[in-house]
Structures are given as structure tokens and as C-alpha cells.
């Protein structure tokens, strides 16, 4: 029996099969689990034209009509939660419990987005001119949709980071062309199924698929694009910013989040938290801890305890709910190995790990005494390796944190909260977590990357506002 799946594109409410297929192999062991339909230029153009045509009708619906459609979608999506989670695990190798959490988090994201839309966006902001001592004008300022939005998502949260783009964009009245990452596109093709079942008007949601390296540049030239919401690497993010200046753009890019560790901490507790923050999903999270910057005075003890926790991590098959799973592909594995070798060449010590023990499966690796001359101090591995950089002073820790090109998040571990708050003021990153690992959630929080980590803000309220513009209607008395 052939159990292989096939993911179809979806344009103007029709599922589209094409001659060109891309086979999808499981990240777990490389076996082919299915294929997707890759689109050509004409089909991509048709998706944008369909979205453009649909905009007028969709944006003129009442907000509660759009909410009704979205909630219908959410109902079908939730009904299939185990199917979706199963396919996430099979396709990209995320552990099954994490995959299920990703799907449920996405459903909760939809519900919270609807609530916050009603609360924060449907009513206008009202000003008058009483600031000038008169009251002749009443200005009503509305958040209005911008038109056709292009959403591009990454492989590591294939469902959550797609839903978190698609739903706010549509809810405020835009139409969408959605391009998922090729790794993860099979599971993302299910999203079209729920839009179809929810009977959305033609052209509101369109799914285009194909390799970014082949169709990405072409997509970015489409004249109908009024906004882009993107999560992925810094290189592609910069390409988008260059191709589409003066459009509504949100870019959530790479990170090199530091955990700054002072010498007054409970070492056991902090080491456990750092290892969890660094190695979950084999470090394939933008918010994974990607360097520990620790005061010399406590470094030996911290490294010992980090090692104990790393040795406790479970490695293997994602369906067994393990911590360390195979990396998304061989290129990613080799990239991580190169960074580790370069650190060793700069006199770093591998404390544990650095062995390939299966298909793209690297043991969790702890590297101590990492020099700031090595690439591992600065580049994003997106894999299960944690470098430790030892410093003599807090000032040095701040300066190394800020010297990164990235600026997503950072953590400060100390029992002195006032000191942590003071350090936080000096860190040039989007968000600072005191005594906890970096994380995007809770989803209601604004999620911000500065420098090469991003542009614009995501989050339940911020993603709604990001794909609107303000339109004023002034009543003169």
C-alpha cells in the first residue's frame, strides 16, 4: 500500500496539482514520506491576482463576519490536531509532545487574536482639537487593511509561525499569499484544507509552494504585494527588505541569545534552566540560548553542572518524546560541526558531545573556554551546541553580548534583581529575561528582534496592527 502523501497548492479556492513535484523526506531518517506540487511563475502570478481581486470584497465584510470565518477555520484545525502534530514530527523531526503543543498553541493564538482584535482594533482612536483650546474637529482614526500580504514561514515552527502570520493578516481584512518553507510544506498544505472546509470567499487565502531558491526572488517582484510578514534567516530577511522597500514589513530573523550568569546564583537550578533553553528541539529555535557568558569566579562549577544536565538529555527518535532529535538536514549538521571544529582550533575544550550518533543526529555538545576569536562565539549554529565564554567582569559580559550582530533576546541569571534590571538597561536586544531562558511566549507579549534579528514587532496585538495602516476621517463642526 502506498502511504505517501501529496501536498497540493491552493489558489482562488482550487487545489492545484502540477507536473513539477518536490519530494519530501522525513528529517528523522531521510525516507521519502511524500511530495508537494511546486508552482511555476504563471501560477504564482495567478495567486497574487486572485488575492488582489478578493481584497475588495473581503475587506468590506463586517469585522464579525470575518471573525465567523476565522473561527470556523479554527474549529476544523483543532479537530485535526493529532494528524497535524503527527505530520510535523514525521516531516521536520520535532518531538511529538512539542509538535502537539505547537498545534494547540496555534489554536489558542487564533482565539486570543480574535479577542484582541475586537478589543483593540475594531473601534477607531478618537482625537479632537481641544489641545488648541477649541473643539471644532473630531478625528476618527481607523486601522484599515493594506491589501495583498505575502507570508513566508520557516521550517522550525511550520504550523505555529504560519498561523501566527496568516490569521492576524486576514482578520484585519487583508488577503494573503502564503509560502511555507519546503521542509514543512507537506504539513502546511493541510492549512489550505481547513480554509477550503470553512468556505472562505474565493482568493482570500492562497498557498504557493516551491523552493525558495528557485521561486523566492520571483515572488518578491510581484507588484500586488503591499506587505510581507517573514520569519527565517537573516540573509533572506535582508533580501526581502531590499526587494520591497516602503511596504509594511515584519522580519523575524536569527538570534545569538546570551545567558549572562553572575556569581550569586543557585547553580543547580540555573544550569538546568540553561540546558533546557539551549537544547530543546536540538537548539533549532531562534530563541535558544546560543552562548553562556559567565563570570570566571563561578565558571568551573557552572560548567560541571551544565555537563551533568547535558548528559541527562535523551537522544533519538522524536516519536519517543526525546530532547535531542536529528537536525533538519545534512548541511545544517555540517555547519554545526564546522563551528565546533573552529572553536577547538581556537583552544576551546569540548566537555561532552561532538559525536554524530545517527542520521543527522549530533550528541548535545558543551564547549568551554570559547574564544571570542572563534566563529562559535558569534554565528548562529541552529543545532545542539552550547558555547561557554568566560569573562572577568559584568562590563565584559555586557560588551560581548552587545558586540553580536544579532539582538533577539538575552537572559540574566542572578539573585540580585536590581542588578539584573540595571544590566538589562545596557543590553541592545529585543527582550531581556531575568532568571529564565529566552522565549517568544507568552504570545500576547510583543516579540522583537533588533539589529540582524529583525524589523518590526510580532505578537498577538502587534501582528494585527503590523498589516494595517491608519486612516482618518475628520468631522468638522
Catalytic residues: 252, 286
10 Å Cβ neighbour count for 385?
27
Q: Which of residues 264-323 bind ligand NAP (CB under 6 A)?
A: 286
Span interacting with ligand NAP, options 35-43, 57-65, 247-255, 394-402, rule CB under 6 A: 247-255
Instruction: Determine contact, residues 290/278, Cβ cutoff 8 Å.
Output: yes
Of the candidate residues 48, 157, 183, 200, the single one contacting ligand G3H (CB under 6 A): 157
Interacting partner of 439 out of ligand G3H, ligand NAP, none (Cβ under 5 to 8 A depending on kind): ligand G3H
Q: Which of 124, 139, 212, 321 binds ligand NAP (CB under 6 A)?
A: 212
In a 10 Å sphere around its CB, with 0-12 CB exposed, 13-18 middle and 19+ buried, how is residue 124 labelled? middle
Contact 364, 279 (CB under 8 A): yes
Q: What CA–CA distance (Å, rounded) separates 207 from 219?
A: 12
Q: Strands 248-252 and 361-362: what pairing?
A: unpaired
Q: Which does 441 bind (CB under 5 to 8 A by kind): ligand G3H, ligand NAP, none?
A: ligand G3H
- 254 binds, options ligand G3H, ligand NAP, none, Cβ within 5 to 8 A by partner type: ligand NAP
Closest among 34, 10, 148, 21 to 90, alpha carbons compared: 34
How far is Cα 97 from Cα 327, in angstroms, rounded to an integer?
17
Assess 441 for contact with ligand G3H (CB under 6 A).
yes
477 neighbors 137 (Cβ within 8 angstroms) = yes
Q: Is 162 in the site for ligand G3H (CB under 6 A)?
A: no
* Interaction of residue 433 with ligand G3H, rule CB under 6 A: no
383 binds, among ligand NAP, ligand G3H, none (CB under 5 to 8 A by kind): none
Closest to ligand NAP by CB, 248 or 414: 248
The answer to the question of residue 253 lying near ligand NAP (CB under 6 A) is yes
Specify the residue, 193 or 276, whose C-beta has the smaller distance to ligand G3H.
276
**Which of 28, 85, 286, 386 forms a contact with ligand G3H (CB under 6 A)?**
286
Q: How does DSSP classify residue 12?
A: T
Find the shortest distance in angstroms from Cβ 255 to ligand NAP: 5
User: What character string, x for contact with ligand G3H (CB under 6 A) and - otherwise, covers 398-417?
Assistant: --------------------
Check residue 181 for interaction with ligand NAP (CB under 6 A). yes
Beta-bridge mates of residue 190? none
> CA 78 → CA 33, 74, 191, 210, distances in Å?
23, 6, 11, 27
Dig out the grid coordinates for 276 from the structure: 533546557
Q: Would the CA dihedral through 244, 179, 360, 454 be positive or negative?
A: positive
377 contacts ligand NAP (rule: CB under 6 A): no
Q: Give the span between the Cα atoms of 401 and 439, in whole angstroms.
A: 17
Stretch of residues binding ligand NAP (CB under 6 A), selected from 107-115, 207-215, 291-299, 463-471:
207-215
| Farthest-apart Cα atoms in the chain, separation | 79
Annotate 87-120 with b (16+ C-beta within 10 A) or e (fewer): bbbbbbbbbbebbbebbebbbebbeebbebbeee
331 sits near ligand NAP (criterion: CB under 6 A)? no
Residue whose C-alpha is closest to residue 93's, from 453, 383, 408: 383
DSSP calls for 264-282 = TS-HHHHHHHHHHHHHGGG
Name the residue nearer to ligand NAP (CB basis): 354 or 431: 431
Footprint of ligand NAP on 103-162 (CB under 6 A): 152-156
- Give CA separation, 235 vs 34, 160, 211, 290, 423, in Å: 29, 22, 16, 19, 30
Stretch 438-457: interaction string toward ligand NAP, x if CB under 6 A: -----------x----x---
Count residues contacting ligand NAP (CB under 6 A)?
Answer: 31
Instruction: Report the distance separating Cα 211 and Cα 22, nearest Å.
Output: 8
Per-residue binding letters, 34-73, with ligand G3H (x by CB under 6 A): ----------------------------------------
Contact region with ligand G3H (CB under 6 A), list: 11-19, 177-185, 370-378, 437-445: 437-445
CB burial of 205-234 (b: ≥16 within 10 Å; e: otherwise) equals bbbbbbebeebbeebbebebbbbbbbbbbb
Nearest-approach distance from CB 414 to ligand G3H, in angstroms:
22
Span of 61-69, 194-202, 228-236, 418-426 interacting with ligand NAP by CB under 6 A: 228-236
Q: Does 232 bind ligand NAP (CB under 6 A)?
A: yes
Q: Name the residue nearer to ligand G3H (CB basis): 253 or 370.
A: 253
165 binds ligand G3H (CB under 6 A): no
Tell me the CA distances in angstroms from 333 to 155, 269, 322, 381, one per residue in order: 15, 30, 18, 9
* Shortest CB 122 distance to ligand NAP, Å: 27
* Least distance to ligand G3H, CB of residue 287, Å: 4
Which residues here bind ligand NAP, judged by CB under 6 A? 152-156, 179-182, 211-213, 216-217, 219-220, 231-233, 236, 239, 252-255, 286, 380, 382, 408, 449, 454
* Residues at the interface with ligand G3H (CB under 6 A): 156-157, 285-287, 439-441
Amino acid at each position: 500500500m502506498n502511504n505517501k502523501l501529496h501536498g497540493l497548492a491552493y489558489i482562488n479556492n482550487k487545489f492545484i496539482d502540477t507536473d513539477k513535484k518536490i519530494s519530501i523526506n522525513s528529517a528523522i531518517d531521510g525516507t521519502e514520506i511524500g511530495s508537494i506540487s511546486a508552482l511555476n511563475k504563471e501560477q504564482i502570478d495567478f495567486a497574487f491576482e486572485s488575492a488582489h481581486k478578493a481584497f475588495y470584497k473581503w475587506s468590506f465584510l463586517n469585522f464579525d463576519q470575518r471573525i465567523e470565518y476565522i473561527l470556523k477555520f479554527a474549529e476544523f484545525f483543532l479537530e485535526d490536531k493529532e494528524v497535524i502534530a503527527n505530520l510535523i514530527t514525521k516531516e521536520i523531526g520535532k518531538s511529538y509532545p512539542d509538535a502537539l503543543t505547537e498545534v494547540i498553541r496555534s489554536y489558542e493564538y487564533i482565539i486570543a487574536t480574535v479577542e484582541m482584535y475586537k478589543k483593540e482594533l475594531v473601534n477607531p482612536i478618537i482625537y479632537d482639537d481641544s489641545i488648541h483650546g477649541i473643539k471644532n474637529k473630531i478625528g476618527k482614526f481607523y486601522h484599515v487593511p493594506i491589501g495583498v500580504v505575502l507570508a513566508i514561514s520557516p521550517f522550525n515552527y511550520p504550523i505555529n509561525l504560519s498561523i501566527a502570520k496568516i490569521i492576524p493578516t486576514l482578520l484585519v481584512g487583508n488577503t494573503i499569499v502564503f509560502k511555507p518553507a519546503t521542509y514543512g510544506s507537506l504539513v502546511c498544505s493541510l492549512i489550505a484544507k481547513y480554509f477550503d472546509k470553512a468556505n472562505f470567499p474565493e482568493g482570500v487565502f492562497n498557498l504557493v509552494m516551491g523552493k525558495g531558491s528557485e521561486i523566492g526572488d520571483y515572488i518578491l517582484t510581484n507588484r500586488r504585494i503591499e506587505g510581507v510578514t517573514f520569519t527565517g534567516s537573516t540573509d533572506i530577511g535582508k533580501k526581502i527588505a531590499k526587494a520591497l522597500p516602503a511596504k509594511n514589513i515584519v522580519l523575524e530573523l536569527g538570534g545569538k541569545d546570551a545567558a549572562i550568569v553572575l556569581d550569586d546564583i543557585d547553580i543547580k537550578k540555573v544550569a538546568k534552566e540553561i540546558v533546557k533553553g539551549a537544547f530543546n528541539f536540538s537548539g533549532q529555535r531562534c530563541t535558544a540560548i546560543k552562548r553562556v557568558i559567565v563570570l570566571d569566579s563561578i565558571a568551573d562549577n557552572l560548567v560541571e553542572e551544565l555537563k551533568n544536565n547535558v548528559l541527562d538529555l535523551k537522544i533519538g527518535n522524536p516519536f519517543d518524546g526525546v530532547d535531542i532529535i536529528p537536525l533538519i538536514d545534512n548541511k545544517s549538521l555540517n555547519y554545526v560541526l564546522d563551528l565546533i571544529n573552529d572553536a577547538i582550533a581556537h583552544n576551546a575544550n569540548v566537555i561532552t558531545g561532538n559525536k554524530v550518533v545517527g542520521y543527522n543526529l549530533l550528541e548535545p555538545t558543551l564547549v568551554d573556554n570559547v574564544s571570542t576569536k572563534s566563529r562559535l562565539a558569534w554565528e548562529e549554529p541552529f543545532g545542539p551546541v552550547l558555547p561557554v565564554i568566560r569573562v572577568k567582569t559584568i562590563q565584559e559580559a555586557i560588551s560581548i553580548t552587545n558586540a553580536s550582530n544579532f539582538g533577539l533576546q538575552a537572559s540574566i541569571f542572578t539573585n540580585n534583581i536590581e542588578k539584573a534590571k540595571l544590566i538589562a538597561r545596557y543590553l541592545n536586544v529585543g527582550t531581556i529575561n531575568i532568571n529564565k531562558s529566552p522565549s517568544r511566549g507568552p504570545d500576547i507579549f510583543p516579540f522583537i528582534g533588533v539589529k540582524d534579528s529583525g524589523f518590526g514587532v510580532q505578537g498577538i496585538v502587534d501582528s494585527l496592527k503590523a498589516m494595517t495602516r491608519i486612516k482618518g476621517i475628520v468631522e468638522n463642526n
